[in-house]
Structure 1
Amino acid sequence: MKICMFGAGAVGGILAGRLIKGGGDMSIVARGAHLAAIQEKGLGVRDRDGEWRVVVRATDDTTSLGNQDLLILGLKAHTVTAALDQLTPLIGPETVVMHIVNGIPWWFFHGLKGEQPADHLECVDPGGHLLNSFGREKALGCVVHIACNVPEPGLVEHNAGGTFFIGEPDGSESARLAAIVDALSPSGLRIRATTDIRAEIWSKLYANITGNPVSVLLEAGFSDIFGEPGVRDVMRTVIEESAAVARAYGTDANPDIDERLDGLATLGNAKSSTLQDFEAGKSLELDALVGAVAELGRLADIPTPTIDLIYALTCQKAKIAGLYTPASA
């Protein structure tokens, strides 16, 4: 299987490095100092086995790679549209597009049973541009649970976790899903096929929609957020509103809220990825994590007042810092 990872940051680098080490194959598209270091020294991976390197085909010229069987997007949701010109040479008639994304994906309505209020979400895919450019039939869902980072160009660090849930938008057990799980399994990571990818999306989102935006508002680590009773009550309401939206779209969501909040409170002074981006002056991924849930709520007549408030405040703080532009702009 011809596989390309577009955006070989921490998650993409871990998957590519471990797959190649395990005897599989994958090309990667990267840029800047990260790409230069990989081309010069190979892709470095630091994990419990120590630090090691693999030789990988790395480029910023997608025309040199041609059409892929599997295109994995390691991009944050708000950066995909700008990358479409680069992505096009990688996509052929049979290419499967699997986006590793936090929050609500651009293909969310595809595969849902029954009549839906829309076919795309304006805050993550204005005008349905991504859906139409990729083709909805190419979409495959992916949710990842892993702790990793890029400590220096050309090196990715795997700290904990390593489970990839992969599923068809319609919940089917397709031949292509089975083939992709088999192709990625030599990585030694936990590659799991699921018949309910949206349940995995919502389950992860409950943590992202609480910890990520509020960490930016407070500029604080997890224990300072979830260990404070008043803030914890707000986060409880956010999860309750999110679960109500999930149920409106067919996911039987009854999360154990206290268990989730307790778990986040034990993470100490760890910072969310969104806060790390804010401190580093990088644009923030707020629409897929927060805005999309509010939009889904409006479409289904489910009120999300607490989510709306947090979204408005976080977006404005990011705008003032020059780190947020609405997707429709």
Structure 2
Amino acid sequence: MRTLVVGAGAVGGFFGAHLVEAGRDVTFLVRERRAAALRADGLTVEKLDGTLHVEPTAVTKDEIDGPFDLVLLSVKSFALGQALDDVAPAVGPDTTIVPLLNGLQHIETLQRRFGADQVVGGLCFVATILVGDTIRQLSPLNTIMLGELDGPESPRIQAAHREIEGAGFEAVLSRNILQGLWEKWFILAAGGATTTLLGGDVGTIERVPFGRETALAIVAECAAVAAAAGHEPRPAMRARAEATLTEAGSDFTTSMFRDQQQGLEVESDQILGDLVRRGQTAGVSVPLLAAASAALEVYRAGRGA
């Protein structure tokens, strides 16, 4: 099976490097500068238990030689528009697209562009950052979950799962991938809204007046939107979110908060704005999520986004 990994950043580079190491037929679709770096220096992942270095095959959009069997789409949500044009020559009638983006907005976008039959559900749990051209792993999280959006397993999703399993990370085949997508969105939105709206790490938020109460109220708003959509987070997932965002002394922050602190682009509309709109359409009151979304849009306007 020919696999195209779109992006060789913190997410695509991490999982793609493991697939290369496991002997899979993997090509990375990247920009010219990243392609030159990969060809010259290879791809390095600083793992918690050692260093992984591979010599990957990298192409730019003009060098795609035809359809691939499997496309792992790992760009940031705000880069999806350009990625659609870049990846189009790699998508044929038998291509399976597994997006590893946050939220749900991207699925509808991909289905409109390539057809509902081309797109399956996918998500990942990984904590990595890109330092220069090197990927650094920050926690043991290393999971890809995939499944048909309508639930039942199919030959193509089983084939995709076989291709990525046994490659040094956890590969999970789900019969309810939409629930998984909503639960991950719930966690990302709760954490992102809490840390960016209140402007600090969890330990600081927890110890200031009304900090804990605000964090719990944001979790409740996120859960209410998911419930209105028919995907209420399981009790264990909600308890996990509440515990993580109210832990005394914790230095936990979110990638959205860290990106904002560094003056980088953030996935505010995909993670918060879309959730607010869905909540309002369903009649769910989400004042804290709306405030967090507005604050991030002000930030984006200030950086010229």
TM-score by length of 2: 0.90
CA shift for structure 1 position 313: 2.2
Say whether the 8 Å CA contact 2:196–2:256 is kept in structure 1. yes
Please tell me whether residue 146 in structure 1 is matched to residue 130 in structure 2.
no
Q: Counterpart of 1:287? A: 269
CA shift for structure 1 position 192: 0.3
Please tell me whether residue 102 in structure 1 is matched to residue 91 in structure 2.
no
Higher relative contact order (CA 8 A, sep 6+): 1
CA shift for structure 1 position 104: 2.5
Q: Counterpart of 1:20? A: 20
CA shift for structure 1 position 254: 4.4
TM-score by length of 1: 0.84
For 1:226 and 1:180, the matched residues in 2 are separated by 42
Q: Counterpart of 2:203? A: 223
Return the letter of the residue paired with 1:247: A
Please tell me whether residue 205 in structure 1 is matched to residue 204 in structure 2.
no
For 1:233 and 1:23, the matched residues in 2 are separated by 49
Return the letter of the residue paired with 2:192: N
> What is the aligned counterpart of 1:193 among 167, 170, 173?
173
Return the letter of the residue paired with 2:126: I
For 1:254 and 1:228, the matched residues in 2 are separated by 29
Q: Counterpart of 1:110? A: none
Please tell me whether residue 156 in structure 1 is matched to residue 138 in structure 2.
no
CA shift for structure 1 position 229: 5.5
For 1:2 and 1:242, the matched residues in 2 are separated by 38
Q: Counterpart of 1:52? A: 52
Distance verdict in 2 for CA 1:190–1:316, change over 3 Å: same
CA shift for structure 1 position 227: 4.7
For 2:179 and 2:151, the matched residues in 1 are separated by 11
Q: What aligned pairs does 1:216-295 form with structure 2 within 5 A after superposition?
A: 216-228=196-208, 230-256=210-236, 257-266=238-247, 268-295=250-277
Please tell me whether residue 307 in structure 1 is matched to residue 289 in structure 2.
yes
Say whether the 8 Å CA contact 1:18–1:187 is kept in structure 2. yes
Say whether the 8 Å CA contact 1:213–1:314 is kept in structure 2. no
For 1:73 and 1:259, the matched residues in 2 are separated by 28
The 10-residue stretch of structure 1 (253-262 or 44-53) with the greater mean CA deviation from structure 2: 253-262
Q: Deviations over 1:141-198 (max 9, x none)?
A: 1121111111221x21223211111111111111111111100013121100111112
The 10-residue stretch of structure 1 (216-225 or 35-44) with the greater mean CA deviation from structure 2: 216-225
Percent identity (aligned): 26
CA shift for structure 1 position 234: 2.0
The 10-residue stretch of structure 1 (66-75 or 233-242) with the greater mean CA deviation from structure 2: 233-242
Say whether the 8 Å CA contact 2:186–2:233 is kept in structure 1. no
How many equivalent pairs are there? 302
Return the letter of the residue paired with 1:275: F
Structure 1 counterpart SS, 2:165: helix
Please tell me whether residue 68 in structure 1 is matched to residue 68 in structure 2.
yes
For 1:170 and 1:62, the matched residues in 2 are separated by 34
Structure 1 counterpart SS, 2:151: coil
Q: Counterpart of 2:7? A: 7
Q: Deviations over 1:185-225 (max 9, x none)?
A: 13121100111112212222232112223433444223223
Say whether the 8 Å CA contact 1:5–1:12 is kept in structure 2. yes
Say whether the 8 Å CA contact 2:221–2:289 is kept in structure 1. yes
Return the letter of the residue paired with 1:142: G
Which sections of structure 1, spanning at least 5 residues, go unmatched? 108-119, 325-329
> What is the aligned counterpart of 1:169 among 132, 149, 152?
149
Structure 2 counterpart SS, 1:246: helix
For 2:58 and 2:143, the matched residues in 1 are separated by 24
For 2:162 and 2:144, the matched residues in 1 are separated by 13
CA shift for structure 1 position 63: 3.7
For 1:229 and 1:163, the matched residues in 2 are separated by 37
For 2:4 and 2:287, the matched residues in 1 are separated by 41
Q: Deviations over 1:220-239 (max 9, x none)?
A: 22322345461232222222
For 2:119 and 2:58, the matched residues in 1 are separated by 24
